[in-house]
Amino acid sequence: MKESWLDTTTPQGKLMFTFMAGISQFERDLISQRTKEGLAAARARGRKGGRKPKLDDNKKKAIYELYQQKKTTVKNLCSMFNISKPTLYKVIGEISKSQVL
């Protein structure tokens, strides 16, 4: 079964293919525009994107202080705050940089 309107070797087939591609692009642009408008409206209402941070500033300071006191191990700190080692070192680095400034 050969559909003549879908045959891209004929002028009519090329026209239909181009028309469908144009409609597809138009629909994609509409979706993008609605998404951007929705995000802007959400920001105007005070909503922020992304997930909430696992550690607030108080927990970060507590981690840094406990780390500086050297009274507990890195592994223990990670289990106390339910974070990974890279996250622990990231928090320590952030706070030490902010204290230098």
Backbone angles phi, psi at 51, to 5 degrees: -85, 160
- How high is the pLDDT of residue 2? 64
Domain ranges of the chain: 4-44, 57-100
Query: Positive or negative, the Cα torsion across 41, 43, 44, 45?
Result: positive
- In this structure, how many other beta carbons lie within 10 angstroms of the beta carbon of residue 91? 21
pLDDT digits (tens, 9 = 90+) for 29-62: 999 999 999 999 999 999 988 888 889 999 999 9
Residue 101 has pLDDT above 60, yes or no: no
Burial (CB count <10 Å: 0-12, 13-18, 19+), residue 17:
middle
pLDDT digits (tens, 9 = 90+) for 83-100: 999 999 999 999 888 876
42 HSE (CA, 13 A, CB side): 10
For residues 67-81, give the mean pLDDT.
92
- How high is the pLDDT of residue 53? 84
